[in-house]
Amino acid sequence: MPNPRVAVALFHEAIGTSRPTVQPLEACA
């Protein structure tokens, strides 16, 4: 699997946010 930081960065770009504290699961829910 890719690095956690890389996954988070790609996720943030996908949702268009710059908040590093937002959890993917909570954001998608």
Show pLDDT as tens, one digit a residue, over the chain (29 residues): 568 888 888 877 777 655 555 566 665 54
pLDDT of residue 17: 58
Q: Cα 12 to the chain's mean position, in Å?
A: 4
**b/e per residue, 2-22, with b = 16+ CB within 10 A?**
eeeeeeeeeebeeeeeeeeee
Domain count, the chain: 1
pLDDT of residue 1: 57
Structural domain boundaries enclosing 2 = 1-29
pTM: 0.38
